[in-house]
Copies of this chain bind each other. A is one copy, B any other.
Amino acid sequence: MEPKKPFSSISRRALLSAAAALPALSGTPLSISAPTRAGDLPARGDPLPSWNDGATKQAIADFVRATTDQAGPNYVPPPERVATFDQDGTLWVEHPMYTQVVYCLEKIPAVAGEKPELKDVEPFKTVLSGDLEAVAKFTLPDFEKILAATLSGMTTEEFDAEVKEWIKAAHDRRWKRPYTELVYQPMLEAMRYLRGNGYKTYIVTGGGQDFVRVYADQVYGIPPEQVVGSAGGLKYGYRQDGKPFLTKEPKLLINDNNAGKAESIHMMIGRRPYAAFGNSTGDREMLEWTAAGDGARLKMLVLHDDAAREYAYGPAAGLPDTKVGTFTQELYDEATKNNWGVISMKNDWKRIFAFE
């Protein structure tokens, strides 16, 4: 949790394929849509209808049964029932680029409109040129400048309003749908199932918590206070009328990736999770931290092995690791050795999106 230099948490790999993802900058405003607004009641009958029967689904059901059975040895009192979920690649599509990075790139024209001097300065000049191949060659410092310019300098209220507006209008290129529809229906069901059994569900994301909080309640049924993520510094100031405001500063206070996830869980939640879901090495320490507790603990990794319905990437999927996400062979081995569950999108999920 030591402050790092701004936005250095974003791996270059995750940003590389910008060109493929940059959609047209215009869009018709839509209301935020989510496949199934995640309520807090389990569905009647099978609470996990989008999951195929098998070991993975069974492991989730067994865990819930074990930790809610008052007569059993693994019973967990309701206040201690905490389940944490990574977001990108675990709850919604992260490929070919994190949605928040798309947001940052698409905000550049507006930023340059307010600060015309940026128009002739790299990397802004290239973004504005629309030369997507050149954007794809950006270095990490280039991306840091873009993130700093679009995620800081404004008040928290202005930022919320901007994200809210954008997320309503923005569309993914492949499915031509709002990003908020690209959430995994089986994971919505798993969250709802856990909540229906007294679990408090948290997002623990490497993405910016201010960004995710804008839509998390509507899309995932997770309120702002249960969204933990990377966070920048804030500065308190007063308007002319004496009212205070908070300005988002261009420095990273919490880097919520890798060890940062275990650290922020301690800091923001103060309880060790009983269940944790991730999909990359950025989630390793969160799963290890969860696993290190007593009793029944559910540790799950989503494996992107379904090129037809979503994407396949990472060596564990039998593919070269050239795309986003880092479900490495090493992580796969750690998961196997420790009996963590591996969720095969291809085999474990009956459907991936609600719109299918």
Contact = CB atoms under 8 A, between A and B. Distances in A.
Interface of A: 1-3, 79, 156, 200, 209, 213, 217, 223-225, 227, 231, 233-236, 243-244, 246, 251, 253, 259, 262-263, 266-271, 285, 288-289, 292
A285 B236 contact: yes
Given A2-B233, A244-B288, 5 more contacts: A1-B234, A2-B251, A209-B267, A236-B259, A253-B267
Given A225-B271, A253-B1, A269-B225, A262 B285 contact: no
Given A233-B1, A233-B2, A267-B234, A244 B224 contact: no
10 contacts: A1-B233, A3-B3, A224-B269, A225-B271, A234-B267, A235-B259, A236-B259, A236-B262, A236-B263, A253-B267
Contacts of A268: 225, 268
Nearest to A245: B292
Nearest to A267: B231
Contacts of A1: 233-234, 253
A234 B266 contact: yes
A5 to B, nearest CB: 14
Contacts of A224: 269-271
Contacts of A209: 267, 270
Contact of A270 (B79, B200, B227, B266): B227
A214 to B, nearest CB: 10
Given A1-B253, A2-B233, A233-B1, A213 B270 contact: yes
A244 B262 contact: yes
Contacts of A156: 266
Contacts of A289: 244
Given A1-B233, A225-B269, A269-B224, A292 B243 contact: yes
A90 to B, nearest CB: 20
Nearest to A227: B270
Nearest to A246: B266
Nearest to A260: B236
The 6 closest A-B pairs by CB, nearest first: A224-B270, A236-B259, A234-B263, A243-B292, A244-B288, A225-B269
Nearest to A156: B266
Contacts of A233: 1-2
Which of A213, A217, A244 counts the most B-chain CB atoms under 10 A from its CB? Answer: A244
A275 to B, nearest CB: 16
A268 B1 CA distance: 15
